[in-house]
Amino acid sequence: MAKKRGVKPSPDEDILPLCAELIRSEITTLKDLSPDLANTLANEYYRFLVLAAPHIKHPLAGKITLPAIREELLSATLEFGVADSNAKSAPESDLAAALAAVEAIPHFMEILRGIDPNKDPIQHRSTVELITDYLKYDIPDAGGKLLIKRLFERAVKKSAKKVKEYIPGLADAIDV
């Protein structure tokens, strides 16, 4: 089914509580983050769960943790031979990229939360921008590029519509 232009995706109501539980288990909260970064992270966790759900055979209730989900995905991969590392456009490739993103988020948050925004607002804001560039804009090697180069790459990706399609207000809907 083709997507209608201008129509924003709406969240799967079954995934939202799982997403909230996963966020709580991995990074505790989104409330201490800027609205844009909070929504970026919420959408990354949500995207991962939507892509992972078809591969999970056992109910995850009560054990919504990244290791538990990773174990389920590994089991499905081994059992059905699901993954093909050479298939760049395959859904499994998207799932692997989504898994890599959610595995990196707790590390990003540890670094960001270690920076006092009152004592070092420039470093804090730069770190927020860098995390956003990695996740939302998918800028390769963002940490090795000057901000001006990343801003240019963002603009190019936006104009080419190669920015991940996020659900607006998802962080507010999840409320963690």
Each domain of the chain, given as residue ranges in start order, spans 12-102, 115-162
Residue pair 108/27 in contact by the 8 Å Cβ criterion: no
Given a cut of 50, is residue 129 above it in pLDDT?
yes
Distance CA 7, CA 101 (A): 25
Dihedrals φ, ψ of 94, to 5°? -65, -40
Which range, of 6-10, 102-106, 160-164, averages the lowest pLDDT? 6-10
Instruction: Please tell me the distance from the alpha carbon of residue 166 to that of residue 16, in angstroms, as a whole number.
Output: 14
pLDDT at 67: 87
Q: What is the mean pLDDT of the chain?
A: 86
